[in-house]
């Protein structure tokens, strides 16, 4: 037995094929409608990043004539137990308020350390958010193999 396609189904199929063919055809004589060029989307600016700093590189930087600030972001009781000579105590909780008042040069090289390295990362991110540009993360004093100033 042969199947017959109903006439209405055949007409519908031809209609759909005709529409799709017309939609994709363009004439050579047609000129495209000019569109206003979209301005290019600027590439996102790279966020400033802090630089990890090995103890040997920090020691070298501190021994050179380069101007820098060495920040200990631990608590006062930890600082009193021993710190890297020349360090300034600026606990993490006070950094947001104190750094802009005490470190006036936003391009100054800032070396940060804490006990183990976790707070120094937080401190580096705070300083970058405040607009400081040359932030170096030394990590923790536990990894510092050089001189430590102990309480007298």
List, by residue number, the catalytic residues. Answer: 114
Distance of CA 61 to the CA centre of its chain: 24
Tokens of 126: 């705070």
Q: Using the 8-state DSSP alphabet, how is residue 33 labeled?
A: P
Q: Which of 77, 67, 61, 62 is nearest to 115 (CA)?
A: 77
Whether residue 143 contacts residue 149, with contact meaning beta carbons closer than 8 Å, is answered with: no
Q: Which of 133, 25, 138, 8 is nearest to 73 (CA)?
A: 138
Tokens of 12: 């519908």
The SS3 call for residue 136 is strand
Tokens of 80: 């009193």
The SS3 call for residue 142 is helix
């Amino acid at each position: 037995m042969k199947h017959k396609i109903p006439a209405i189904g055949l007409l519908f199929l031809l209609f759909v094929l005709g529409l799709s063919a017309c939609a994709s055809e363009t004439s050579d004589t047609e000129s495209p409608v000019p569109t206003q060029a979209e301005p290019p989307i600027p590439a996102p600016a790279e966020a400033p990043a802090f630089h990890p700093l090995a103890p040997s590189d920090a020691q070298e930087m501190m021994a050179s004539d380069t101007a820098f600030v060495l920040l200990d972001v631990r608590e006062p009781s930890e600082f009193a137990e021993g710190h890297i000579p020349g360090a300034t105590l600026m606990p993490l909780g006070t950094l947001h308020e104190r750094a802009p008042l005490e470190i006036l040069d936003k391009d100054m090289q800032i070396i940060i350390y804490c006990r183990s390295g976790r707070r120094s990362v937080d401190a580096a991110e705070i300083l970058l958010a405040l607009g400081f540009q040359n932030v170096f993360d030394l990590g923790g004093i536990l990894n510092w193999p050089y001189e430590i100033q102990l309480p007298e």
